[in-house]
Amino acid sequence: MECNYFGVCGSCKLYELSYEEQVQKKQLYIKELFESLHVKSFETFTSPDSHYRNRAEFRIWHDDDGMHYAMNQIEKKKVVLIDKCPKVVKKIDDLMTPLKRMIESDEMLRRKLFSIEFLSSTTKVLVSMLYHKKIDESWDIHAKKLEDTFGIAVIGRSKKVKRVISDDFVIDELHVNKNLYMYKIIEGGFSQPNSSVNAHMIEWATLHVNNPKDLLELYCGHGNFTIPFAKQFNKVLATEISKSSIKSAKESCEMNDVTNIEFIRMSVEDLTSALKKEREFVRLKEINLDDYDFSHVFVDPPRAGIDEKSLEFISQFETIIYISCNPETLKRDLEFLKDKFEIKNFAIFDQFPHTDHIESGVILQTHQA
Ligand SMILES: C[S@@+](CC[C@H](N)C(=O)[O-])C[C@H]1O[C@@H](n2cnc3c(N)ncnc32)[C@H](O)[C@@H]1O
């Protein structure tokens, strides 16, 4: 990937290395970090070298020359003004300049705009515009023109205000294991930023399911993995803390005709305590937790990893599939599990080229299994 802002823009740190060298650097890091856990080999799933990010957030900078997209510089204290970002998918790339021109020429849309966020799917681009001023119905008329001109969905946000012109979500299509899945992805909710690597992650995780009964999924987001997993298991119980992600997950189930998933809006810590029968929750009164016979647990936690009580709880099941966006907390959690589990497979998914972030996957099986 070529970029005019390499070495200045804080978004890319590994700009001096070719893509192959970046991957080798990440492989070496993982090899050394997990040596003590006897991880001898791992698969690596690479990304397209450019145009791989389906979402992006830019600051908006105003000066005498007009309005500009901006990113923090590597030293953080300054910004760099940019015209383009070769990391973003073509749909966002093609939209950035004409969208900026139209906003710039419209006082209502331009004034006090401080950030623009893009979320692209196979069907549409959603653009969120963030303001340091109150916006109301008069703003909607101008935003509607943006929607009509570019065929996009536009949202305006200012303090305590969210104005949705048409939709605050996109429908995304993903091909996994030769099946087509449809997902509703809501603005502001978590979604995997690199669609091509995301498809590899789901394929890899589903490929490593053996002797399935029921699945317990923790940190399920909008059902990204849950819906493809549902084909393999009798029943799935999935939990997630974000209300809007759970709502999207349920709607995505309907779009995909999936009926064997129970999504619960609850923290992992609370759900594990309910499953251990330590506490009762009104939210679970319609669900018979004793109906489940979990053979597998799938976890995809945030960077902080999994809390000890939940790790202790999931260690009673035969197989754990762990997707992690932070190798350090992954290592900490694997150290905790190592007496009961064997690491059967390990993989690196390069979701974040040109940065030092690494996504990994681990299949753990109880020693006696
Ligand atoms: C790395 S994301 C993974 C989401 C999903 N697996 C996916 O692929 O889109 C982690 C998710 O965990 C959720 N989360 C964070 N802390 C949580 C907690 N304590 N209990 C339940 N969910 C939590 C976040 O809202 C987020 O959706």
State in Å: Cα 189 to ligand 1 middle: 10
Q: In the β-sheet with 153-158, what is the strand arrangement from edge to edge?
A: 79-82, 66-72, 55-63, 113-120, 125-131, 153-158, 161-164
User: Is the Cβ–Cβ distance between 210 and 369 less than 8 Å?
Assistant: no
Domain membership of residue 185 (yes or no) is no
Instruction: Tell me the pLDDT of the chain averaged across its residues.
Output: 96
Is there a single domain that holds both residue 129 and residue 44?
A: no
Q: What distance in Å separates the CA atoms of residue 151 and residue 103, rounded to the nearest whole number?
A: 15
Domain membership of residue 61 (yes or no) is yes
Q: Give residue-wise pLDDT tens across range 202-243.
A: 999 999 999 999 999 999 999 999 999 999 999 999 999 999
Domain membership of residue 9 (yes or no) is no
User: Is the Cβ–Cβ distance between 152 and 125 less than 8 Å?
Assistant: yes
**Residue of 9, 85, 253, 325 marked active site:** 325
Ligand 1, residues 240, 246, 270, 330: which to mutate, most atoms within 8 A of Cβ? 240
Q: Give residue-wise pLDDT tens across range 289-309.
A: 999 999 999 999 999 999 999
Q: Residue 133 maps to which CATH number?
A: 2.40.50.1070
Amino acid 369: pLDDT = 59
More confident residue, 369 or 225: 225
pLDDT > 70 fraction of the chain, expressed in percent and rounded: 100
Domain membership of residue 137 (yes or no) is yes
Is there a single domain that holds both residue 217 and residue 160?
A: no
Is there a single domain that holds both residue 350 and residue 218?
A: yes
Active site residue 220: no
Q: Is 220 in the pocket of ligand 1 (CB under 6 A)?
A: yes
- The SS3 of residue 193 is coil
Is there a single domain that holds both residue 132 and residue 156?
A: yes
State in Å: Cα 222 to ligand 1 middle: 9
Q: Is 300 in the pocket of ligand 1 (CB under 6 A)?
A: yes
Closest atom, ligand 1, to C-alpha of 189 = 27
Rounded to 5 degrees, φ, ψ at 97 are -70, -50
Amino acid 165: pLDDT = 98
Return the closest-CA partner of residue 292 out of 232, 220, 208, 234: 234
Structure tokens at 303: 């960077």
Is there a single domain that holds both residue 214 and residue 322?
A: yes
State in Å: Cα 143 to ligand 1 middle: 32
Residue 177's CB is within 10 A of a number of other CB atoms, namely 13
Is there a single domain that holds both residue 34 and residue 101?
A: no
State in Å: Cα 165 to ligand 1 middle: 28
User: Is the Cβ–Cβ distance between 41 and 346 less than 8 Å?
Assistant: yes
State in Å: Cα 302 to ligand 1 middle: 6
Domain that holds residue 89: 55-120+125-166
Is there a single domain that holds both residue 241 and residue 361?
A: yes
Domain membership of residue 186 (yes or no) is no
DSSP state of 233: S
Q: What distance in Å separates the CA atoms of residue 196 and residue 193, rounded to the nearest whole number?
A: 9
pLDDT > 90 fraction of the chain, expressed in percent and rounded: 96
Q: What distance in Å separates the CA atoms of residue 57 and residue 84, rounded to the nearest whole number?
A: 12
Q: Give residue-wise pLDDT tens across range 40-65.
A: 899 999 999 999 999 999 999 999 98
Ligand 1, residues 121, 227, 241: which to mutate, most atoms within 8 A of Cβ? 241
Count of structural domains within the chain: 2
Is there a single domain that holds both residue 104 and residue 248?
A: no
pTM: 0.96
Is there a single domain that holds both residue 111 and residue 255?
A: no
Domain membership of residue 14 (yes or no) is no
Active site residue 3: no
